[in-house]
Amino acid sequence: MKAKVSVGIVGLGRMGQIYAGHLAGHGQVRIASVSDVVEERAAQIAEEFGVESWTADYQEILHDGSVDAVFVTSSTSTHRQVVIAAAEAGKAIFCEKPIALTLEDTDEMIAAIERKGVMFQAGFMRRFDRGYAAAKLKIEAGAIGEPVTFKSIGRDPFCPDLEYARLSVSGGLILDMAIHDFDLARWLMADEVQRVHTEGGVLAFPQLNTVGDIDNAVVNMRFEGGALGNVEVSRNALYGYDIRTEILGTKGGLNIGYYQHTPLLVMTTQGIQHDMVPYIVERFGDAYQAQTYDFVERVLYDGGPAVDAHDARAALLTGLAARRSYHEDRVVALAEYS
């Protein structure tokens, strides 16, 4: 067991800052250095979290022999090069989802990880949410019998920055957003997706046409064991951040998620009102912390990852098939990629 984990963070956008906050609050973590291509941002985050070193060149972190682990939270389009370099440097790696934009890049990353024997964990924080984790235990205990249908809803409350939405940067709505639901589908149903069919379009934010993305999609799925699935993702839930999942089994069902953020009902002659979950930190802040601390514990005790690169590849494969289905307007079998 290590006495303390020395960590570097590569990429200091929204996700990088979330992880920096949780790492800074862990008593057995030392943030050795942070990196971002925007120097001012790197300097600001270093100062905010009391980090002595910052750099615009992530290679400096990888060349630091005191660094045990690296959090890769830069844009998805950069993950391949950073992860392979980190593996070559012998660092334990945490990488935000999706870990890459193509299967070819993913397979090169997996080859480097396995060749160097480093620990790699993919960032699917919903597995660490109390509701989803409890649902997994209920399913494994047989509380709802055999799961036969899966339905997941992921709705964001606003249109993202157009540069972020660009397919070459984040992967767009299906790869960047729905990949959470694809991972949950495999995990909760304990089965692989066999085929998908996607309907989607630009229905609310015409500006997304300029970067090749869409704002709404519905993906129907069939699992290898015969179970059915449905994933809906949207950019235009202007009422709030709406994340829910339902699983129906042969003996019952599970409903995961909630609307109300503050435990307060306002009751007047106009009716009963309550607020809505505003966005991702308010909904999954605890899950992000649990995921971060879980990774740290695994590095401390030389454990294996909770979510490995093969899990990430499987979710990406479903996403790629779903995106192909949308563009080609047909059912796509995942076997087409083998």
- Model confidence pLDDT, tens digit, residues 237-258: 999 999 999 999 999 999 999 9
- Residue intervals in the chain for CATH 3.40.50.720: 5-118
Q: How far apart are the first and last CA of the chain?
A: 40
DSSP string, 35-70: E-SSHHHHHHHHHHTT-SEEES-THHHHT-TT--EE
The reply to whether the predicted model has a pTM over 0.85 is yes
- Residue intervals in the chain for CATH 3.30.360.10: 127-283+315-337
Report the pLDDT value the prediction gives residue 338, as an integer from 0 to 100: 74
DSSP one-letter code for 303: P
- Residue 306 burial by CB count (10 A; 0-12/13-18/19+): exposed, middle or buried? middle
The span from the CA of 153 to the CA of 160, in Å, is 18
Residue in this structure with the two tokens 């005790």, named with its chain if needed: 301
Length of the chain: 338
Element (H, E) at 78: none
Element (H, E) at 229: strand 228-234
Do 87 and 113 form a contact (C-beta atoms < 8 A)? yes
Q: Which residues contact 78 (CB under 8 A, 6 or more apart)?
A: 11
Q: Which residues contact 329 (CB under 8 A, 6 or more apart)?
A: none
Angle of helix 14-24 versus helix 39-48 axis, rounded to 10? 20
Q: Across the beta sheet with 228-234, what order do the strands follow?
A: 253-257, 242-249, 147-155, 228-234, 216-223, 193-201, 332-333
For residue 24, give both structure tokens. Answer: 């800074």
Pairing of strands 147-155, 242-249: antiparallel
Reply yes or no: is the peptide bond before residue 263 cis, omega within 30 of 0.
no
Do 18 and 78 form a contact (C-beta atoms < 8 A)? no
Q: Return the CATH class of domain 5-118.
A: alpha beta
The span from the CA of 125 to the CA of 338, in Å, is 28
Spell out the alpha helix ranges (H) of the chain: 14-24, 39-48, 59-62, 79-88, 103-116, 130-140, 162-165, 172, 178-189, 280-300, 309-328
CATH for 127-283+315-337 is 3.30.360.10
Q: Which amino acid is at 199?
A: E
Report the pLDDT value the prediction gives residue 3, as an integer from 0 to 100: 81
The 10 Å CB-count burial string (b at 16+, else e) for 147-177 is bbebbbbbbbbebbeeebbbbebbbbbbbbb
The span from the CA of 227 to the CA of 144, in Å, is 14
- Residue 246 burial by CB count (10 A; 0-12/13-18/19+): exposed, middle or buried? middle
Do 325 and 199 form a contact (C-beta atoms < 8 A)? no
Report the pLDDT value the prediction gives residue 1, as an integer from 0 to 100: 65
Low-confidence ranges of the chain (pLDDT < 70): 1
Do 216 and 198 form a contact (C-beta atoms < 8 A)? no
